[in-house]
Amino acid sequence: MRFDEAIAFYESGDRTSAKAGAESILAAPSDRHQHGDALNLLAVIAQDEGRQVDAEEFARQAVAIAPANALYLNTLGNGLLAQGRSAEAVTVLVKAHKAAPTQADILFNLGNAERQAGLLHEAVESFRSTITLRPGHIGAYNNMALVLKSIGEVESAATVLIEAVAHAPKSAELRFNLGNAFHMAGRLPAAESAFRKAIELLPGHADAHVNLGVVLAEGGLKDKADACFRKAISLNPNLAQAYVGLADLVDDGSMDAVAHRRAVLALRPELATIHSSLLMCLHYVPGMSREALFAAHQEFAGLHKSQAPPAFDPRHDFSPNRRLRVGFVSGDFRFHAMMFFALPVIEARDRAMWEIVCYSSTAKTDVYTPDFRAAADHWRDVRGLSDSELSQLIVRDRIDILIDLSGHAPQNRLPMFALRPAPLQVAWGDYVDTRGLDAIDVLLGDGVHTPAEDDRFYTERVERFAPDYICYRPPSYAPPVAPAPCLAKGTVTFGTFSEVTKFGPASVAQWAAVLKAVPTARFLLNGYLLADEARQGRIVSLFMDQGIAADRVIFKTGGLHAAFLAQYGEVDVILDTTPYSGGLTTCEALLMGVPVLTVAGDRFCGRHAAAHLANGGYPEGVAASLGELIAKARSLAADPAGLAALRENLRDRLTASRLCDLPAFAANFYGALRSAWVERCSRAVCI
């Protein structure tokens, strides 16, 4: 068969005949060019069929025949990209572009690879150049807008998409993406209009119905949002995000939110995303027992446990003292608590002994994502990979220790961990409880968050490896500590900078008890979600239910992080939240010279402030009871001069403390991983 005949079969959709034709060319004595074309066709067919390992092998054979062939290099680059190996894909596609600089499709593919590799500014330029070569290239417009959004240039993204709409006014996808850009820019009416236009052009666009529902919900139109989510479900019963939207219509961390998620799970019990969201919500509910929480996590494990044997190769190298390959899996390689807690630890490793691979399921990358990528030896963008595909990639990467940073937070990959692609799997990072999965071997904790008497509530073996399970690196842009505001105002301002999901009845009752004890004090709540007046009204009602007048409650709406930190200058004392304690915000308060008062809870999520204060230079902030917390608050309020003096030295206490001792923490962290690995090697013969 001639090659043009094989191509004709492929273009007609007959892959079987195309494959047979390519194989016949390889079997026949023909020139190397014919063999290269046939191998490239086999690679493309394998990619279409999801056989990425076979595709890579065929493409590499083709490139070996003609190393400068742009078509072959393009195929190889696309195959590497499909496997999440974006850095390798960039290298190959750069070669392809140099070999054929006027080929718009190759440049477009290069932009996609750069985007996945975290080379966001380079990706923007590649997409711009694609449009220069091929005006009206809708894919380039779309993807350039997505990158611009991810680096915070949402207005530029909207401008790009408006230009694209001029080329393709009937494209529902462009209208959909334009709606997303407007949404990110906070332009809700424009976003609503764009989503409605997308639906008008394509009534079956389920994602547009979901995002319209999100916009309507944010505008307070929850009944209309509910109808949008249910319409999306009727169009695509497997669209998890529609169920998430339904669940999130109740967002205050109350038992109502729990009941709402349980109702969704009654419809679709297999949705791990909703189940994880339920587990997150349970931690905000006062009175939820440790036994009930543990049972809920075990229920998740029962539904999502894999019956297959471990995916990792049983011939894995179990040498105990060699350089180890560690994989970090997270949906939060971005501006997030992990930027201050995990990124410094990744950077602080001994590179001679530890090789790091980051598996990113981060949905909203930003300008900080490249910092994570630069810290890793290898970067994998795995958002588009199924659990099975991601597991196979991790096995091919020969990961020794796989670390989950997300737990049951959004964009987690816990069902993939159930497949056990690595011989040792570890829980650490952002989540505040057991993962519930037998497939995760070790949870890294400490004596405050995870005391020995709590071991029965963890499916993992708890390793108390350091005084505090995290280490905090303050941002370089932190503003100077401001004077105590009580000196100018003549009265103390208490407050919280925690997430609004923690502002439930239990927290408000505790704050109100302090305000009653200090009748002249006011209470400041700060966060960007407090721009919602309806949410403010609900919080004020909770204070009034406790006998606190509305004029004693102040709201601020945050801002960029440096500005947010500067706003600690408006509060004298932070009062912790309950039952979910403040973690990063406790560290930030101490950094800005503001003392924090807390009563340690009975579980991981309730002990953040207690652990960070004990290790961060202000153990005096930990009270044994609400009565003692009130007494501490009254004492601080009664001594403005002492409060001002304390404010002047808290930052120095923090930065000199164990909480900020990165070298010591890194030694403990990697020492714990090595010890766990040695123990795992001792059991290798049992596999």
Q: What is the CATH number of the domain that holds 633?
A: 3.40.50.2000
> pLDDT category, 34, cuts 50, 70, 90?
confident
531 part of a folded domain: yes
Same-domain status, 597 and 543: yes
Same domain, 427 and 552: no
pLDDT at residue 27, rounded to an integer: 83
Sign of CA dihedral 539, 540, 546, 551: positive
Domain check: are 591 and 546 in the same one?
yes
Phi, psi of 306 (to 5 degrees): -85, 140
Cα separation of 108 and 128, whole Å? Answer: 9
On the question of pLDDT at 611 being above 70, the answer is yes
531 and 649 share one domain: yes
- What is the domain-level CATH number for residue 356? 3.40.50.11380
Domain limits at 339?
Answer: 324-471+666-686
Same domain, 441 and 354: yes
Residues 330 and 434 in one domain: yes
Residue 589 included in any domain? yes
- Please check whether residues 406 and 535 belong to one and the same domain: no
- Give the whole-angstrom CA distance, residue 169 versus residue 310: 50
Residues 372 and 411: beta-carbon distance below 8 Å: no
Report the pLDDT averaged over residues 563-571. 97
Q: What is the DSSP string of 576-591?
A: PPSSS--SHHHHHHHH
Average pLDDT score over residue span 144-173: 87
Is residue 105 a part of any domain in this protein? no
250-264, 382-396, 492-506, 510-524, range with the lowest pLDDT: 250-264
Q: What is the pLDDT of residue 255?
A: 56
Structure confidence by residue, pLDDT tens digits, 169-199? 999 999 999 998 888 777 899 999 999 999 9
Per-residue CA distances from 632 to 574, 598, 627 (Å)? 12, 10, 9
Instruction: Give 686's pLDDT tier (boundaries 50, 70, 90).
Output: very low
Q: What is the mean pLDDT of residues 634-656?
A: 97
Let me know whether 515 and 428 are in one domain.
no
User: Mean pLDDT across the stretch 528-550?
Assistant: 92
Domain assignment present for residue 639? The answer is yes
Least confident of 64-73, 80-89, 437-446: 80-89
Query: Is pLDDT above 70 for 297?
Result: yes
Residue 579 preceded by cis peptide, ω within 30? yes
Number of domains in the chain: 2
Q: How many CB atoms lie within 10 A of CB 230?
A: 15
Q: Interhelix angle for 533-545 vs 505-517, to 10°?
A: 60
CA distances from 58 to 32, 100, 339, 527 (A): 14, 21, 40, 53
Least confident of 59-68, 338-347, 417-426: 59-68
pLDDT at 613 over 60: yes
- Residue 685: which pLDDT band, with cuts at 50, 70 and 90? low
Query: What's the rounded mean pLDDT across residues 72-82?
Result: 93
Q: Is the per-residue pLDDT at 252 higher than 60? A: no
Give the mean pLDDT of 149-166: 85
Q: For the chain, how big is the Rg over CA atoms in Å? A: 27
pLDDT at residue 33, rounded to an integer: 67
- 77 assigned to some structural domain: no
* Contact status, residue 458 vs residue 435, Cβ threshold 8 Å: no
Q: In this structure, is residue 171 part of a structural domain?
A: no
How much is the pTM?
0.77
- Are both 328 and 448 inside the same structural domain? yes
Q: Are residues 441 and 586 in the same domain?
A: no
Q: Looking at the predicted structure, is the pLDDT value of residue 29 above 90?
A: no
**Contact call for residues 325 and 397 (beta carbons, < 8 A):** yes
Nearest alpha-carbon partner for 496 in 470, 469, 530: 530
Same domain, 387 and 344: yes
- Work out the mean pLDDT of the chain and round it to a whole number: 92
Strands (E), 302-363: 324-330, 354-360
